[in-house]
Amino acid sequence: MDKIFEILINRRTIRKYSEKDVDDALLNKILAAGIRASTTGNMQVYSIIVTRDDEIKKQLLPLHFNQKMVTEAPVLLTFCADFNRFNKWCRMRKAEPGYDNFLSFLTAAIDALLVAQTVCIAAESSGLGICYLGTTTYMAHKIIEVLKLPEGVVPVTTITLGWPAEIPEQVDRLPLDAVIHHETYHDYSAEDIDRIYLEKEQRADSLQYIKENNKETLAQVFTDVRYKKEDNVYFSRMLLKVLEEQGFMNQ
């Protein structure tokens, strides 16, 4: 099965798409493969919102921090943790659901993410390109309004999907042994950290990145520019409020 490994190992995130549409037959084939992913107790506690409409994409654009792929990609897929459907079924069948708690949210989020990644791999193996939008958890409170998500439903990630109009350089990864632990967790010494991050820190793109941002180290680009504490704290509060409002914090 080396073709699959080739696809998994050579993959690149695609942010520029050609104008060619993704037809419904292909999209449905990909989504049908996606829903074969493992799901807790075969409950399938997720939903996928397919967005093709330009007007709705325009409303989502600022919520995804104006990343151009949102309006340029032919298809957006928003993957949601969804206990609404399951709860409705229970109530119609003389069963009282007890899924209005944090554990159930995480269960449903896991379901949604396993489907999302399966959809991505099916799409990439069809020659399509994808990009994950991390902004979904930041702006869940606003995405809920645009996509009209009812109680019991929380968006956890979004992907843009389309035919690639670029073949970008493949980004780096830490050495495999940096993320693997045998039997139990082996905490990192200062020497380990130096070794693990050496290649990343010496890359030309990293050095360029530090310079452009007027920083001293690559880590400072993350902490002071890209993923700042004040933003994280603000969006954390909003996200916890979303979980409460969508009915997942009643424990």
Q: How far apart are CA 197 and CA 226, in angstroms?
A: 18
158: buried, middle or exposed (CB in 10 Å: 19+, 13-18, 0-12)?
buried
Distance of closest approach, residue 23 Cβ to its own copies, in angstroms: 15
Most distant CA pair in the chain: distance in Å? 63
Q: How far does Cα 113 stand from its chain's mean position?
A: 7
Segment near its own copies (CB under 8 A); pick from 15-23, 64-72, 131-139, 160-168: 131-139
Convert residues 13-32 into a mask of x (bound to its own copies by CB under 8 A) and - (unbound): x--------------xx-xx
Q: Does 165 bind its own copies (CB under 8 A)?
A: no
Please say which residue, 62 or 244, places its beta carbon nearer to its own copies.
Answer: 244
Please say which residue, 63 or 109, places its beta carbon nearer to its own copies.
Answer: 109
Q: Does 197 bind its own copies (CB under 8 A)?
A: yes
The footprint of its own copies on residues 166-195 (CB under 8 A) is 171-174, 176, 178-185, 187-188, 190, 193-194
The footprint of its own copies on residues 110-129 (CB under 8 A) is 110, 113-114, 116-118, 120-122, 125-127
CB-based contact 69:131 (threshold 8 Å): yes
Q: Does 109 bind its own copies (CB under 8 A)?
A: yes
3-class SS of residue 134? coil
The footprint of its own copies on residues 32-71 (CB under 8 A) is 32-38, 40-44, 46-53, 56
User: Which uninterrupted H or E stretch holds 162?
Assistant: strand 153-162
Q: Does 72 bind its own copies (CB under 8 A)?
A: no
Q: Does 95 bind its own copies (CB under 8 A)?
A: yes
Q: Does 212 bind its own copies (CB under 8 A)?
A: no
Q: Does 96 bind its own copies (CB under 8 A)?
A: yes
Selected from 156, 158, 160, 246, the binder of its own copies by CB under 8 A is 156
Distance of closest approach, residue 63 Cβ to its own copies, in angstroms: 14
Cα–Cα separations (whole angstroms), residue 238 to 34, 111, 157, 161: 30, 22, 16, 27
Q: How far apart are CA 104 and CA 110, in angstroms?
A: 10
Q: Does 149 bind its own copies (CB under 8 A)?
A: yes
């530090």: which residue's tokens?
Answer: 210
Q: Does 139 bind its own copies (CB under 8 A)?
A: no
Selected from 168, 212, 226, 244, the binder of its own copies by CB under 8 A is 226
Q: How far apart are CA 45 and CA 40, in angstroms?
A: 8
Listed residue (60, 137, 147, 63) closest to 106, CA to CA: 137
Selected from 94, 169, 204, 211, the binder of its own copies by CB under 8 A is 94
Q: What angle do CA 130, 17, 136 make, to 5 degrees?
A: 45
CB-based contact 109:243 (threshold 8 Å): no
